[in-house]
Structure 1
Amino acid sequence: MVIKPTTALRTELGEITRICKEKSEPVYLTKNGEGELVVMSIAAYERREAMLNLRAKLLEAEQQRLNGTPTYTTDDVRGYIRGLHHEQA
């Protein structure tokens, strides 16, 4: 974890950018010793957002399963897809 004071934005922006891109990790910026901001590369941000989105979808699916929504095996899905394929032929 990289921690720098917020004043480093003015004097070390290039270095902060390099760290974010090369290490693919955020840089924590502090003001008066307290956390103030987090800076990260767009690639790292997009990966994080995709992971959080997937997690939300998995939690929703699990909640639906717990609420009794029917579930399907991989064999069920394969059979369904094959049936669709045969209907189009």
Structure 2
Amino acid sequence: MPQIRPISDLRNNFTEISRIVHEGKEPVFLTKNGYGDMVVMSIEQYEAFRTAKHIDSALLEAQQQADSDPTRLEFDKVSVSLRERLTEKMGQTNA
């Protein structure tokens, strides 16, 4: 259940809000004059949010590219090609 607190709690109960976002691993929504104003979250939550957003963006871009290009490749051929390239690259770094 989301935590919704008045923005004054950020000043008056900072330690409690910090504990909530870290222990509960959920953001706290702050209101000002009864309306949503901001969200407080831990750095870990923020990084997870950014990662998920980046993945969603990359998937959307890949889907758009796939929709605009009718070319389809067979998994086995792509897998063999990638394996060969990786083996070649590994051979170059060991030399």
Q: State the TM-score, normalized to the length of structure 2.
A: 0.82
Unpaired runs of at least 5, structure 1:
none
4+ residue runs of structure 1 moved beyond 4 angstroms?
86-89
Q: Percent identity?
A: 38
Q: Secondary structure at the match of 1:4?
A: strand
Count of residue pairs brought into register by the alignment: 89
Provide the rounded CA distance (Å) in 1 between the counterparts of 2:88 and 2:7: 63
Q: 2:26 is matched with which residue?
A: 25
Q: Indicate the RMSD between aligned Cα atoms, in angstroms.
A: 2.0
For residues 21-80 of structure 1, give each alpha carbon's deviation from its aligned partner in whole angstroms, at most 9, with x where no partner exists.
111111000111111111000000000000000000000000000001634343223210
Question: Structure 1 residue 16 and structure 2 residue 17: aligned?
Answer: yes
Unpaired runs of at least 5, structure 2:
none
Between 49-58 and 62-71, the greater mean CA deviation after superposition: 62-71
Q: 1:65 is matched with which residue?
A: 66
Q: State the TM-score, normalized to the length of structure 1.
A: 0.87
